[in-house]
Structure 1
Amino acid sequence: MNTMTQWNPLRDLEEMQDRVLRTFGRGLGRRIPEGQQPLTMSEWAPSVDIVEDDHEYLIKAELPEVNKEDVKVTVDNDVVTIKGERKFEKEEKNKKYHRIERSYGSFERSFAIPDDAAADKVTADFKEGLLEVHLGKCEEKRSPHIEVAVL
């Protein structure tokens, strides 16, 4: 049986970029695969895992050296957004930096809420550099399609 796949004109370019990143190391940046990009890109993007069980969805974001006060989680129009900032260390007179590879500055990651997630059942915990956003599930799935009678 033949399967059809949608042609992506940028696929060759993405594969070439992956080869360059493998050759020269990840210091040049990390390409985010198609379909996994945040809605907005920023200076750096923390790594995220999204896990589902019978009761909830869990978003785990690695935020080392980010202060709890510098993290904001919002839900708007069925999108969860995590924003924050990792601040650069203050330079000290007797220190010379020979290499700086860690990223600093603001970040923003956004994720669409699944149909069976309850936007009003969202909690977040932050400790030891790990943010956990808990999205409770609805009893019934939200309908992605609603028929409206025309009067």
Structure 2
Amino acid sequence: MTLIKYNPSLPSTENKSFSSLLDRFFNESFNGIGKEMQHFAPQVDIAESKKAFEISVAAPGMKKSDFNIDMSDGAITISGERKFEEKKDEKNYHSVETQYGSFSRTFHLPDNIKEDKIEASYQDGILNIVIPKDEQKELKRTIQIK
């Protein structure tokens, strides 16, 4: 008897051979993007210096036209999509570990920024966003105890 790991997304294993289960797994997972591969969450680094906040989004394989950056209500939203391009004549994939799909990340910003001076660049698979601080607006203050 062969043990098969329980997977609730697969139909009942009754009257199914192990070979047919493997075929279904490989056909759904690698011959096109399955449901598990439709969400992409790029890694983000956030740094702060005296003059600015910096957001770096790791998204190799994308073009700068694949990104959207929006500011609204004190938050910056970075969204985009990395599409899987399968050329059926050239390759048969046996494993796809790269994430594909659409993503959206929102970060709430402090009040001491210059929204009109935000800059973004994309180079070597990294989207860099520089959010300058407004030195006129000081967020830190000391509260006197009464």
Provide TM-score, normalisation by structure 2: 0.65
Alpha-carbon distance between aligned partners in 2 of 1:91 and 1:100, rounded to the nearest angstrom: 14
Return closer, same or farther for 1:116/1:86 CA change in 2, 3 Å cut-off: same
Match of 1:22 in 2: none
Alpha-carbon distance between aligned partners in 2 of 1:93 and 1:82, rounded to the nearest angstrom: 35
Larger radius of gyration: 2
Match of 1:55 in 2: 51
Question: Aligned-pair distance for 1:81?
Answer: 0.7
- The answer for unaligned runs of 5 or more in structure 2 is 1-37, 140-146
Question: Aligned-pair distance for 1:72?
Answer: 1.1
Matched residue count: 102
Q: How does 1:39-78 map to 2 (within 5 A)?
A: 43-78=39-74
Question: Aligned-pair distance for 1:90?
Answer: 2.5
Q: Does 1:111 align with 2:104?
A: no
> Identity of counterpart residues, as a percentage?
37
Secondary structure (helix, strand or coil) at the match of 1:115 reads coil
Match of 2:79 in 1: 83
Alpha-carbon distance between aligned partners in 1 of 2:84 and 2:91, rounded to the nearest angstrom: 14
Provide TM-score, normalisation by structure 1: 0.63
Q: Does 1:132 align with 2:128?
A: yes
Question: Aligned-pair distance for 1:100?
Answer: 1.1
Secondary structure (helix, strand or coil) at the match of 1:120 reads helix
Return closer, same or farther for 1:124/1:94 CA change in 2, 3 Å cut-off: closer
Question: Aligned-pair distance for 1:142?
Answer: 7.0
- The answer for unaligned runs of 5 or more in structure 1 is 1-41, 144-151
Question: Aligned-pair distance for 1:48?
Answer: 0.5
Question: Aligned-pair distance for 1:43?
Answer: 1.1
1:93 to 73, 89, 100: 89
Alpha-carbon distance between aligned partners in 2 of 1:55 and 1:100, rounded to the nearest angstrom: 41
